């Protein structure tokens, strides 16, 4: 057969060689691009869907209230000696780096110490880092429910007549302006990294 169709045979070999060259070129073009986010992309996560708490002004809040803004959520407590102040100071630096874009970001601090963190205490503590930040509280049951939904762990340690600390998860969750949970930021992340990721979300990434 092939001897009767030598030109076709030659053509098909040429075509195959061309196809191979094309495939190699396409492979080169398909080298994974730089990831858009430096934080952990958790888009599509099946948790962190519900939040109904009271902010430090006494207003009931849900995630839907912040549509159109990037929302960051951190769980902690005002008497925390190090982790929480570090996280909040980091977020205030993020806001400084964002400049005017900071107005499109809502930083939320949810107390895991509802027995000691009164609304008044949260109202005093949280805005120190940035007056736009919101502290949130609820009953111990409500906080436990929200923390569970966000897969956040917390536990009292050294419970002596109120003199206790609380071990707690220290990552930050980030929602995009459409209210979808998108990123998990590890504790003590570089504020420049967080600011860049927030900018990407604000740009519709
Ligand atoms: Cu803490």
Per-residue pLDDT of the chain (205 residues; tens, 9 = 90+): 444 555 555 556 666 666 666 666 666 666 677 789 999 999 999 999 889 999 999 999 999 999 999 999 999 999 999 999 999 999 999 999 999 999 999 999 999 999 999 999 999 999 999 999 999 999 999 999 999 999 999 999 986 676 899 999 999 999 999 999 999 999 999 999 999 999 999 999 9
Could you please report the per-residue DSSP string of 129-190? Answer: H-TT-EEEE--HHHHHHHHHHTT--EEEES-STT--EEEE---EEEE-TTS-EEEEE-TT--
E strands, 68-153, are 70-76, 105-111, 134-137
Q: What is the pTM of this model?
A: 0.83
Q: What is the distance in A from the centroid of ligand 1 to the CA of 99? A: 26
Q: What is the distance in A from the centroid of ligand 1 to the CA of 163? A: 15
Q: What is the distance in A from the centroid of ligand 1 to the CA of 81? A: 7
Q: What is the distance in A from the centroid of ligand 1 to the CA of 166? A: 7
52: which strand partners?
62
Q: What is the distance in A from the centroid of ligand 1 to the CA of 190? A: 18
CB neighbour list of residue 205: distance below 8 Å, 6 or more residues apart: 36, 37
Q: What is the distance in A from the centroid of ligand 1 to the CA of 88? A: 10
Q: What is the distance in A from the centroid of ligand 1 to the CA of 162? A: 16
Q: What is the distance in A from the centroid of ligand 1 to the CA of 136? A: 14
The predicted pLDDT at position 2 comes to 45
Domain 40-202, what fold? Glutaredoxin (3.40.30)
Q: What is the distance in A from the centroid of ligand 1 to the CA of 77? A: 6
Q: What is the distance in A from the centroid of ligand 1 to the CA of 148? A: 17
The predicted pLDDT at position 50 comes to 83
- 73 φ, ψ (degrees, to nearest 5): -125, 130
Separation between Cα atoms, residue 137 and residue 12, nearest integer Å: 72
């Amino acid at each position: 057969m092939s001897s009767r169709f030598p030109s076709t045979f030659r053509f098909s070999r040429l075509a195959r060689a061309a196809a191979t060259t094309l495939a190699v070129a396409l492979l080169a073009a398909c080298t994974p691009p730089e990831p858009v986010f430096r934080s952990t992309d958790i888009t599509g996560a099946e948790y962190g869907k519900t939040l109904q708490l009271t902010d430090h002004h006494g207003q009931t809040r849900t995630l839907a209230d912040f549509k159109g803004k990037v929302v960051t959520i951190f769980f902690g407590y005002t008497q925390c000696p190090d982790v929480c102040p570090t996280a909040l100071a980091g977020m205030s630096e993020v806001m400084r780096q964002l400049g005017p874009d900071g107005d499109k970001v809502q930083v939320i601090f949810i107390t895991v110490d509802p027995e000691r963190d009164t609304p008044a205490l949260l109202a005093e503590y949280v805005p120190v880092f940035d007056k736009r930040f919101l502290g949130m509280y609820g009953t111990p049951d409500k906080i436990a429910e929200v923390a569970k939904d966000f897969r956040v762990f917390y536990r009292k340690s050294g419970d002596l007549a109120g003199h206790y600390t609380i071990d707690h998860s220290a990552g930050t969750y980030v929602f995009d302006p459409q209210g979808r949970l998108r990123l998990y930021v590890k504790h003590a992340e570089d504020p420049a990294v967080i600011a860049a990721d927030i900018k990407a979300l604000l740009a519709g990434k």
